Every structure is written in structure tokens, then in C-alpha cells.
Amino acid sequence: MAASLLDEIRNLRADNDALRAEVAYLRELLSPPLRTPPAWGLARQEEIVTLALILRPLISRDALIAAIYTTHGKDEPAEKTIDVLIWKTRRKLAAQGAHVGNQPGRGWFLADGDRARLRAELLPASVPEVD
């Protein structure tokens, strides 16, 4: 009986280690290092929004909150905080010729051509797309 409990504990610890590694990997996908040219004037949170828009065909409010706040140990923002962040990012990316659109109730997206162009300009080819 004691041996089977010890085996179960070992298995649970191994599962726990595997899950921790997966969470670390997923966090890295949500926020890999991205630095935009200084001339773009993007703050760090705006860079994270830009990265999320590049990596995903559509990014929801919840996914942005997770990428910006949860991975950095901060509390969730007020509802309008994300709207203001999107507005600022949209304005700064428009200056670079990129259009940020929205699907009401679903999220935001970069036009396909803009998404591909920004991905090629800003990210190494090894960074996978997230669906």
C-alpha cells in the first residue's frame, strides 16, 4: 500500500513538473522578446499588444489581459485600460502603415498584409504563430 502511494506521488510530481514546463513555454509564446524601432515610440505594453496582433489572427480582450498583466504579476486592469492601450497602439501602428481592425465582441486584428509585413520586420522566423 505504501509503495503504491509513493509511486502515485512520484507520478504526480512528474506530471506537475511537465505542466510547469508547459506553462513556462506558453508564457514565453505570449511574450517573447520584441523590440520595435525606437522611432515608433511604442511603450512596452504597446509592444506586447503589437506582438499579440502579429502572432494571432485575432486577439481577444481576455488574451491581451493575460499577455500583459498575468504574466507580469500585475492585477487585472480597469475595463477602459485595454481600450486606451489599443487606441494608442492602433495610432502608432497606423503611422507605420499598419491597420488594426476590430470585430466587435471578439477582438482585434492586423490586416493580413500588415501582419505578414510586421512579422517579417520584427520577429525571427523561429517564433511560431499562435492560433
CA distance 72 to 78: 16
Whole-number percent of the chain with pLDDT over 70: 83
Global pTM reads: 0.69
Which of 5-9, 23-27, 64-68, 114-118 has the weakest average pLDDT? Answer: 23-27
Instruction: Map out the domains of the chain with their CATH numbers.
Output: 31-122 (1.10.10.10)
CA-angle at 124, arms to 18 and 40, nearest 5°: 115
Report pLDDT digits (tens) over 37-68.
Answer: 889 999 988 998 998 999 889 999 988 888 88
Residue 103 — pLDDT band, cuts 50, 70, 90? very high
Find the mean pLDDT for residues 1-21. Answer: 87
| pLDDT surpassing 60 at residue 72 | no
d(CA 74, CA 112): 32
Q: What is the rounded average pLDDT of the residues 100-129?
A: 87
Mean pLDDT of 67-79: 66
Q: Where are the beta strands (DSSP E) in the chain?
A: 100-103, 107-110
